[in-house]
Structure 1
């Protein structure tokens, strides 16, 4: 055990800084106490990738690696929004079709009405905000349970999509900017530049956090652990960019297909932004407080109703972005956009990633990890040419396992007094 002296207005205070061995033992103790975090999702992701790679080596090809990002993008973004609602112990069953409504608005504005892409995107996002305000008001102010409100929205929004799509028509999207969100690629050089910025930014944030905590006399992670964390993230980002920059076109004489998809940095920016909001702002602390104990938060002076409404607004706003991404991927919008299994996969991604269904526990990275697991399952089982029935059964089993782990970890936390 090493110590760090911290100067204050008086005698020097000594703050313990655990050695690496102590840090590892503390982490193991937390895991045994039920604080699993994203560990199950990480283990599941590694196991699934290894299994699919062994059975179907093409799984680790550059082309399929890029497909994983584009296939899971919309679900991951919607799952990011759902985390805000789940942190409150609420649910939004309408997020899937809300994304469909926003996508339909986008398609009508840009294709049917002929407005520029930015007007269409703004209209779609505004629609998501209005949906969120409506749902949040009914839950927070009227007092209707979120399950009932969003179930009604789930049914009603299907009808809205049908009306916007003229009872079944398909609206193609030809705008290059919107189509390029999912189908466009970033030049390799720019991809490496973005990777360098991301790595340096992450390293700076980690080192600054370590310094600030030490300066305030707070317990800090060993600098070796911080360094290992930075190296690990750098290696992961570097590997991903390297693979995505490989040529994926079958015939390079006709066209080149290398570089990371445009949607990747979009998701990265959303991840960083919402992580900052949850971890570094008063709003984020209030959100966790309301999710942990709404009555205690109210007595502490937190406007619980406002927090609840804002969570539904963020959820529906992110659903709108998910709908835009889905419309970009398909280059069109139809009555099934946002329907089918979109909601189930999005909720599954949040829960599989480590977000609790009981509220008060979850991080934004959970949506990305859970979305990756869902994308790997769908992609890998598709490569194995398995039936849709087996895909649904396997995905449902994984979701049930994740929910079971969440329930058991909460029970273990309560028994050990760590929660």
Structure 2
């Protein structure tokens, strides 16, 4: 039997028996069986981070019942959004097997641009934000040029960029070192107090479940037309309903508190969904996976490898600038400390902990979402227990190490399974 890939690549032979066994799976039981087959073959997906998140929440809730209180979860969602958006850019750059060490500095530089142009120069806040994102794109383009034309390793170019952009940030802020953003402005309110009405949160949860079903149904239809195995309608419906019920329950629980789900977190989730669609449903996304998996093979297949690297670097810097603007709105200030500390490391760690491979070619936009929730859950739990921040660094480092080990073992399992 011959199998043809979704993107029209050369057909590859598969074993008749295993393909027919997968093809005729029906209903929920078939979906569960297919899931366990993927796990045994090393395709763990988000399973390790979800299990880890459940363990973390269980431990902290046992030690302090306030941890999962609605109001504390709202604060956690606010804190997740800024670094989480930066981590979306890290997912893009890791997908092609590269790294960007300057995202923290770029975010701080963007916040300084907004502060100087909006507060000091009197620009409209929208123009100031667009300018900050434009300079983020310019920085990403510079990295791409150094990589594509001069072959400079991304580790070196972005490390140099970290220092240079930090210098620009300090220069813009001048001797004062900080610029306070106006309280009561829409930007500051967006970062500190704006939450969704209850009905909007419930509607968005339902839309998310519906989109999962529609997307899965269209993919399954295309695979059936190509003669490939596909999940059953019952399995897709069960998955969509389960996710919708879970999201609705979370929205209901958080809305029981004094506030609700932050609009800033909604923006983060929306960007993650858009990036997931781009990475999984577009030709650009397929080329990203191909370049990350094997650059030379992608080049021989006719893919514009330089364009793919350029898009990854530019997107990474734009997301970093966006996260910096939101961080400034969260703190109501642009300061010399913005983007420093653990911002850089947390953004990278979130993508890796969430399941994006350091080896390139494998990852998901939802990695940033899951990973940053893990990191912020650790930070929030330790803060409630009034424990030293040193423990947060040690625990986060241990979780990161475990994530890399799991990724390495899964990669080895996939390779051995493929040879078998």
Same fold judged by TM-score > 0.5?
Answer: yes
Q: For residues 246-305 of structure 1, what are the alpha-carbon distances to aligned partners after superposition, in whole Å with 9 as ceiling and x for unaligned?
A: 242xxxxxxxxx232111221122012111111111111111111011111111111111
Q: 1:220 to 1:237 in 2, by over 3 A?
A: same
Aligned pairs for 1:103-118 within 5 A: 103-118=111-126
Worse-matched range after superposition: 163-172 or 361-370 = 163-172
Counterpart residue number, 1:10: none
Secondary structure of 1:162's counterpart equals: helix
CA distance in 2, matches of 1:292, 1:202: 26
Counterpart residue number, 1:6: none
Counterpart residue number, 1:300: 301
Determine if contact 1:104/1:165 at 8 Å carries over to the other structure: yes
Counterpart residue number, 2:145: 137
Question: Residue 149 in 1 paired to residue 150 in 2?
Answer: no
Counterpart residue number, 2:23: 16
Worse-matched range after superposition: 75-84 or 166-175 = 166-175
CA distance in 2, matches of 1:264, 1:350: 17
Per the TM alignment, residue 389 of structure 1 is displaced from its structure 2 partner at its CA by 1.1
CA distance in 1, matches of 2:414, 2:284: 26
Counterpart residue number, 1:321: 322
CA distance in 2, matches of 1:77, 1:110: 22
Counterpart residue number, 1:268: 269
Determine if contact 1:279/1:285 at 8 Å carries over to the other structure: yes
Question: Residue 176 in 1 paired to residue 185 in 2?
Answer: yes
Counterpart residue number, 1:11: none
Counterpart residue number, 2:9: none
Worse-matched range after superposition: 70-79 or 162-171 = 162-171
Determine if contact 1:17/1:221 at 8 Å carries over to the other structure: no
Per the TM alignment, residue 228 of structure 1 is displaced from its structure 2 partner at its CA by 2.0
CA distance in 1, matches of 2:228, 2:417: 24
Question: Residue 127 in 1 paired to residue 138 in 2?
Answer: no
Determine if contact 2:179/2:334 at 8 Å carries over to the other structure: yes
Q: For residues 32-73 of structure 1, what are the alpha-carbon distances to aligned partners after superposition, in whole Å with 9 as ceiling and x for unaligned?
A: 222111111111111111111111110111101111111111
Q: For residues 158-205 of structure 1, what are the alpha-carbon distances to aligned partners after superposition, in whole Å with 9 as ceiling and x for unaligned?
A: 211111111452111116221132221222233333333333333333
Question: Residue 39 in 1 paired to residue 39 in 2?
Answer: no
Question: Residue 186 in 1 paired to residue 196 in 2?
Answer: yes
Normalising by structure 2, we get a TM-score of: 0.90
Aligned pairs for 1:5-404 within 5 A: 16-19=23-26, 20-167=28-175, 169-174=177-182, 176-183=185-192, 184-248=194-258, 258-404=259-405
Q: For residues 207-251 of structure 1, what are the alpha-carbon distances to aligned partners after superposition, in whole Å with 9 as ceiling and x for unaligned?
A: 333344334433111333212211221122212221332242xxx
Q: For residues 12-47 of structure 1, what are the alpha-carbon distances to aligned partners after superposition, in whole Å with 9 as ceiling and x for unaligned?
A: xx9933134444333223222221111111111111
Counterpart residue number, 1:252: none
Secondary structure of 1:58's counterpart equals: coil
Worse-matched range after superposition: 184-193 or 370-379 = 184-193
Worse-matched range after superposition: 61-70 or 190-199 = 190-199
Number of residue pairs matched by the alignment: 397
Q: 1:229 to 1:298 in 2, by over 3 A?
A: same
Gaps of 5+ in 1: 1-13, 249-257
CA distance in 2, matches of 1:232, 1:109: 47
Determine if contact 1:277/1:283 at 8 Å carries over to the other structure: yes
Determine if contact 2:269/2:369 at 8 Å carries over to the other structure: no
Secondary structure of 2:23's counterpart equals: strand
Normalising by structure 1, we get a TM-score of: 0.90
